[in-house]
């Protein structure tokens, strides 16, 4: 799935990431030169500047770095969680913890990634670790 | 090299509009009302303006619009957009441009009809955060507040103290929008918007315009008002998306303020009055810590017991801030103008006696752009 930089006309890294998610896969980039994992998807490594980025599987394990609840009227779908998750590989991402009441998500909570749906669109979401393993 | 900007430029004119009662005026018309007042304050003719520094959230080619609107042919323009911090950043650019002779009379200006106008916004780039529907700009600040509470034991009550202190200053400012009494309990029991931030932890949405005129310091005494000198400035960023912020408890204000204080050759202990971009209550706590007015993690304690309210040890957000005075979307201009007016001694009931040194910190994006400026009176040069 490595992109071929000599080819024009290929989707960019953000599109590739979203295509993976649509196919039920959660992959992020890793720099071939400095070894850093990179997220969000970029054309250049934000650590060393290299364009030699490859797509890799992740463990899916993460820790909640911070969490909040967007308050929304029940008739509009109700409250939902927004959390920042520190992935085991290093990068941090925004997501939602789905299987815990939105205000019961806690900083430091261990979570694992799944491909879920938000408003019928596939998205990387997280579950409290005890309640399920990696599912993509 | 940057040290040469210390004291090189001065503010010689400021203008503010009313913050309510402007329905039917678009953002340029509101801006023009502020520019007219700044020109009058500086005692200049509008055609003397040859540097334009302007940005907003509703259009892309702002400096061109401004030049055309006022019938100006500037020799230098800057439409950099760093969010709400931008005008403090513009002040740095203006000082540099003035210093190099790229312009001679710099106008920094802003207008917004956020409260009464139609909501418009240029399209933003699609990002990996979009699908989760963060309620921006509140969610990023809520995430920072939650992390600060987790790491340092900061409480909802301490956040509320920030809002109450701002309100107490607003009660001394006839121009402030919100002047009714406010208690810690009122703030803590207000409707939750994005946990842990409730309605009264969030700034106002206002109309308002603001304008500032700067010249090189060697000419500063040729104008009618007491000049206020730029002594130091520092501008930093370390992210744009909140998920890319390295540490939600330490903002780029730490480095920005260090640079500004180093250029000015003063320390936080020397500062008489502080103006911070309080879009949310957590901001004031973060910036007081990052700028060195208290230790990291002690901001919640520092703002308690009226310490930053009128009569406290450090006057902070003396106009009432974005929380109680005015917040039209990009507040950075308003905090600089409050600093200038404090240093001129024009602030009436809320005047900080003998204020000679003011520190401002503009915040842009989601804690992303931080620009600190230190201003002083003539005897601090
Ligand atoms: Zn690299």
The answer to whether residue B121 neighbours chain A at the CB level (below 8 Å) is no
- Compute, in angstroms, the gap from residue B147 CA to the centroid of ligand 1: 28
Q: Are B25 and B206 in contact (CB under 8 A)?
A: no
Which CATH architecture best describes the domain B2-118+203-380? 3-Layer(aba) Sandwich (3.40)
Using the beta-carbon criterion (under 8 Å), do A107 and B142 form an inter-chain contact? no
Of B128, B132, B144, the CB nearest to A118: B132
Looking at CA atoms only, how far is residue A19 from chain B in angstroms? Answer: 12
Span B152-185, pLDDT tens digits:
999 999 999 999 999 999 999 999 999 999 999 9
Cβ separation of B132 and A17 shorter than 8 Å? no
Question: Each residue of A52-66: b (16+ CB within 10 Å) or e?
Answer: ebebeebebbbbbbb
Helix (H, G, I), strand (E, B) or coil at A45: coil
Which chain B residue has its CA at the smallest distance from A95's CA?
B132
Report CA Rg, chain B. 19
**pLDDT on residue A9:** 84
- Taking CA atoms, what residue in B is nearest to A86? B243
In DSSP terms, which residues pair with B234 in a beta bridge?
Answer: B372
- Answer whether A84 sits within 8 Å of B143, measured CB to CB: yes
Q: Pick the residue of B124, B128, B136, B194 with the most A CBs within 10 A to test the interface with A by mutation.
A: B128
Q: Contact, B108 vs B91, CB < 8 A?
A: yes
Could you tell me the distance, in angstroms and rounded to a whole number, from the CA of residue A20 to the centre of ligand 1?
22
The reply to whether omega before B196 is within 30° of 0 (cis) is: yes
Q: What is the pTM of this model?
A: 0.96
The pLDDT of residue A135 is 52
| Residues near ligand 1 ion, CB 5 Å cutoff | A 31, 33-34, 36, 45, 47-48, 50
Low-confidence ranges of chain A (pLDDT < 50): 1-3, 132, 136
> Which of A 49-68 lie inside 8 A of B, CB atoms?
65-68
Q: What are the chain A neighbours of B135 within 8 Å (beta carbons)?
A: 70, 82
Q: Where are the domains of chain A?
A: 13-57, 61-127
pLDDT the model gives residue A83? 98
Half-sphere CA count of B55, side-chain side, radius 13 A: 21
Low-confidence residues in chain B, pLDDT < 50 = 1-2
Residue A17 near chain B (CB below 8 Å)? yes
A interface test, pick of B134, B153, B238, B243 with most A CB neighbours within 10 Å: B243
Chain A contact present for B241, CB below 8 A:
yes
A12 alpha carbon to ligand 1 midpoint, in Å?
Answer: 18
CA B168 to chain centre: 19
Q: Which residues of B touch A67 (CB under 8 A)?
A: 143, 146
CA pair distance B110, B336, nearest whole angstrom: 13
Ligand 1 center from residue B247 Cα (angstroms): 21
Q: What is the 3-state secondary structure (H, E, C) of chain B?
A: CHHHHCCCEEEEEEEECCCCCCCCCCHHHHHHHHHHHHHHHHCCCHHHCCEEEECCCCCCCHHHHHHHHHCCCCCEEECCCECECHHHHHHHHHHHHHHCCCCCCEEEEEEEECCCCCCCCCCCCCCCCHHHCCCCCHHHHHHHHHHHHHHHCCCHHHHHHHHHHHHHHHCCCCCCCCCCCCCHHHHHHCCEEEECEEHHHECCCCEEEEEEEEEEHHHHHHCCCCCEEEEEEEEEECCCCHHHCCCCCCCCHHHHHHHHHHHHCCCHHHCCEEEECCCEHHHHHHHHHHHCCCCCCCHHHHCHHHCCCCCCCCCECCCCHHHHHCCCCCCHHHHHHHHHHHHHCCCHHHCCCCCCEEEEEEEECCCCEEEEEEEECHHHC
A33-36: list long-range contacts, CB under 8 Å, 24+ apart.
A36/A90
Q: Look at residue A113 in the predicted model and tell me its pLDDT.
A: 96
Query: Cα–Cα distance between B240 and B252 in angstroms, integer?
Result: 11
Question: Can you give the pLDDT at residue B120?
Answer: 77
Query: Which residue, among B127, B130, B131, B151, would best test binding to A if mutated, counting the most A CBs under 10 Å from its CB?
Result: B131
What ipTM was predicted for this assembly?
0.95
d(Cα B288, Cα B360) in Å, to the nearest integer? 11
Give the C-alpha distances (Å, rounded to integers) separating B54 from B67, B108, B111, B149, B217. Answer: 10, 6, 9, 36, 22
CB contact under 8 A, A68 and B126: no
Interface probe for A, chosen from B135, B143, B156 (most Cβ of A below 10 Å), is B143
- Integer CA distances (angstroms), B9 to A3, A55, A98, B106, B373, in order: 51, 51, 54, 10, 12
Q: In whole angstroms, give the CA distance from residue B182 to residue A13.
A: 50
Q: Enumerate residues 6+ apart whose C-beta is below 8 A from B28.
A: B65, B66, B69, B111
Nearest chain B Cα distance for residue A67, angstroms: 6
Distance in angstroms (rounded) separating the CA atoms of residues B331 and B274: 15
Does A37 lie at the interface with B, CB-CB under 8 angstroms?
no
A104 to chain B: closest CA residue: B195
Structure confidence at residue A76 (pLDDT): 93
Q: Class for domain A61-127, per CATH?
A: mainly beta
Return residues 68-127 of A near B (CB < 8 Å): 68-71, 80, 82, 84, 92-96, 103, 107-108, 118-119, 121, 123
- Residue B204: predicted pLDDT: 96
Q: Tell the residue number behind the tokens 């009176």, with chain if given.
A: B377
Q: Map B253-281 to HEC letters.
A: HHHHHHHHHHHHCCCHHHCCEEEECCCEH
CA distance A82 to B257: 31
**Tokens standing for residue A47:** 């650590």
Considering only CB atoms, which chain B residues are within 8 Å of A77?
none
């Amino acid at each position: 799935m490595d992109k071929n930089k000599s080819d024009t006309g290929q989707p960019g890294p953000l599109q590739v990431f979203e295509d993976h998610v649509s196919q039920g896969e959660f992959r992020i980039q890793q720099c071939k030169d400095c070894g850093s994992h990179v997220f969000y998807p970029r054309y250049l490594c934000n650590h060393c500047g290299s364009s030699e980025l490859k797509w890799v599987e992740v463990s899916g394990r993460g820790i909640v770095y911070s969490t909040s609840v967007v308050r929304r009227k029940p008739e509009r779908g109700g409250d939902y969680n927004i959390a920042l998750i520190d992935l085991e590989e290093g990068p941090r991402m925004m997501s939602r913890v789905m299987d815990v009441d939105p205000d019961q998500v806690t900083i430091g909570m261990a979570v694992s990634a799944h491909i879920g749906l938000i408003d019928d669109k596939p998205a990387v979401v997280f579950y409290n670790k005890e309640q399920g393993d990696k599912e993509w | 090299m940057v040290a040469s900007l210390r004291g090189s430029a001065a503010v010689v004119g400021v203008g503010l509009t009313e913050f309510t009662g402007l329905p039917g005026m678009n953002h340029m018309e509101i801006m023009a009302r502020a520019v007219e007042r700044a020109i009058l304050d500086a005692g200049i003719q509008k055609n003397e303006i040859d540097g334009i520094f302007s940005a907003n959230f509703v259009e892309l080619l702002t400096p061109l619009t401004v030049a055309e609107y006022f019938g100006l042919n500037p020799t230098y323009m800057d439409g950099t957009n760093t969010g709400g911090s931008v005008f403090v950043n513009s002040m740095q650019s203006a000082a540099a441009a003035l210093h190099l002779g790229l312009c001679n009379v710099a106008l920094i200006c802003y207008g917004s009809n956020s409260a009464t106008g139609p909501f418009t916004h240029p399209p933003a780039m699609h990002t990996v955060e979009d699908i989760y529907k963060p309620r921006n700009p509140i969610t990023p600040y809520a995430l920072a507040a939650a992390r600060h509470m987790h790491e340092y034991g900061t409480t909802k009550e301490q956040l509320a103290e920030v809002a109450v202190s701002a309100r107490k200053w607003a009660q001394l400012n006839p121009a402030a929008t919100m002047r009714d009494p406010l208690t810690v309990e009122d703030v803590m029991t207000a409707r939750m918007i994005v946990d842990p931030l409730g309605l009264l932890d969030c700034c106002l949405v206002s109309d308002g315009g603001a304008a500032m005129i700067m010249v090189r310091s060697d000419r500063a005494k040729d104008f009618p008002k007491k000049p206020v000198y730029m002594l130091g400035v520092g501008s930093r960023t370390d992210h744009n998306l909140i998920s890319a912020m390295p540490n939600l408890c330490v903002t780029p204000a730490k480095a920005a303020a260090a640079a500004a204080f180093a250029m000015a050759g003063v320390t936080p202990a020397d500062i008489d009055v502080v103006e911070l971009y309080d879009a949310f209550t957590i901001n004031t706590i973060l910036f007081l810590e990052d700028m060195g007015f208290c230790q990291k993690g002690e901001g919640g304690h520092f703002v308690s017991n009226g310490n930053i309210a009128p009569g406290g040890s450090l006057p902070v957000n003396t106009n009432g801030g974005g929380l109680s005075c005015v917040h039209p979307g990009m507040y950075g201009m308003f905090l600089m103008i409050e600093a200038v007016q404090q240093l001129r001694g024009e602030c009436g009931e809320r005047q900080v006696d003998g204020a000679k040194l003011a520190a401002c910190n503009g915040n842009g994006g989601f804690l992303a752009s931080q620009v600190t400026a230190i201003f002083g009176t003539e005897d601090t040069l």
